[in-house]
Amino acid sequence: MSLPIDTLVELLKGGLLESLYMTIVSTIIAYIIGIPLGIIVFVTDTGGILKNKPVNFIFGVIINMIRSIPFLILLVAMLPVTRAIVGTTIGSSATIVPLVAAAAPFVARMVESSLKEVSPGVIEAAKAMGASPIQIITRVLLPEAKPSLTVGFTIAISTILGYSAMAGFVGGGGLGAIAINYGYYRYKTDIMLITVALLIIIVQIFQTVGMFIANKIDKRTNN
């Protein structure tokens, strides 16, 4: 090993916690923004319960615009915004701002696609029962889409973890920063491999747990 084992463990432990911190906080905030956004895009679409072409168009364009900016560029472009919000552009807390900006539109699309899986017949039945649009959203769309939303969450959190690693290039913290600083700038390939292995393990855990929960809560499967 290129570093004393104790130092290495400390380093990786810190990086791991920072990565998890960035990923989890960003995912939560991205969902707080992305769920309403996804719902708005879904219900205002043609054939939706609150069909509204202009609203649908505007939100659609905003989501697509942010989604088409490569994350690394967004990261740099957002530095002034990050400084204004967090007060600094370095460290894991600062990374959360561009992470949320990149993830929220992505989450919105994931939520939209989960809602699209809800049978239109069930929505029609709720309408026929006299349900209001808000009741359809909270009592039909979201509960019926729960398993699919869970799968989406699993994908989103893994993607955000990947993004957070990229933030290492511009002074963000976490495992990504360790891989870049030690593995790339100092040619310590072993450390880079270990961080990569850790990232793989985390994604595996997210994936396995997420799919397990999604299957468990889905009442369409007999278990």
Partner 1 sequence: MIKLENVSKEFETRGKKKIDAVNDVSLEINTGEIFGIIGFSGAGKSTLVRCINLLEQPTKGKVFLNDKELTAASAKELRQERRKIGMIFQQFNLLAQKTCIDNITFPLIISGVSKKEAKERAKELLKLVDLEDKAKAYPEQLSGGQKQRVAIARALATKPEVLLCDEATSALDPITTRSILALLKKINEELKVTIVVITHEMRVVEQICDRVAVMSEGVIKEVGTVKDIFLNPKSETARKLILPERDRIPNGKRAGILRLAFDGQSSSEPIISELTLESGAYVNILGANTEDIGGKAYGQMLIELPADNEAVKKIKAFLDKRQIHYEEGGNADVTAD
Residue 130 within binding range of partner 1, rule CB under 8 A: yes
CB of 150 to partner 1, least distance (A): 12
Listed in sequence order, the residues at least 6 apart from 96 whose beta carbon sits closer than 8 Å to its beta carbon are 22, 25, 26, 29, 86
Is the alpha carbon torsion for 47, 53, 59, 65 positive or negative?
Answer: positive
Site of tokens 């552009």: 89
Q: Is 146 in the site for partner 1 (CB under 8 A)?
A: yes
152 binds partner 1 (CB under 8 A): no
Question: Is 220 a residue that touches partner 1 (CB under 8 A)?
Answer: yes
> Per rule CB under 8 A, is residue 193 in the interface with partner 1?
no
Residue 117 lies near partner 1 (rule: CB under 8 A): no
Provide, for the chain, the percentages of residues in helix, strand and coil under a 3-state DSSP scheme, each rounded to the nearest 5: 80, 0, 20
**Per CB under 8 A, which region of 19-27, 56-64, 140-148, 172-180 contacts partner 1?**
140-148
Angle between helical axes of 53-68 and 5-43 (0-180°, round to 10): 160
Asked if 46 interacts with partner 1 (CB under 8 A), we say: no
Q: What is the CA radius of gyration of the chain?
A: 20
Q: Which residues bind partner 1 (CB under 8 A)?
A: 119, 121-122, 124-132, 135, 139-140, 143-144, 146-147, 217-222
